[in-house]
Amino acid sequence: MGKKKIQIIEEAKHLYQLMKEELSAAKVSDERLTRATGRLFDDEASMKMDEVRRVKKHLQGIHDKEFQRIKVVRKMCPSSVWANYIAMDIKDLPEQQLLKSAQKALNSAWGHVRKRKKKEKDSDHES
């Protein structure tokens, strides 16, 4: 495996690790997590360079938009306050609604990386 490919895989793994806790909090299922990243963590899988790039681009996009939105909301209160909200079963405060909305957006954005469709040959389009 080339150095560039290894570097991209490591960067993608790092992005995933940064977001893993929030993905879980956003109720992204293990199945959906695995569909998007499973092969990154399988040393036996041989991913092609374009697949590696698509996975990293997918993770980077989610990290830069939806995940950052959650981080902004989380900074509104100390972590102890968020923990107290959960412990006291408080669910309707404005910051909680913002967090719920951000988590929903993260969950929605977490699709699996689809393989690029192969272009059909011109000979297949005979009139």
- Domain borders along the chain are 3-112
Closest to 77 (Cα-Cα) out of 66, 90, 64: 90
Angle at which helix 49-62 crosses helix 30-37, to 10 degrees, equals 130
Q: Chunked in runs of 10, what are the mean pLDDT values of the chain (127 residues)?
A: 85 92 91 78 75 89 95 96 95 95 92 51 47
What confidence score (pLDDT) does residue 112 get? 52
How far apart, in whole angstroms, are the C-alpha atoms of residue 110 and residue 107? 5
pTM (whole model) above 0.85: no
* Ramachandran angles phi, psi of 77, nearest 5°: -135, 150
Amino acid letter, residue 4:
K
What confidence score (pLDDT) does residue 14 get? 94
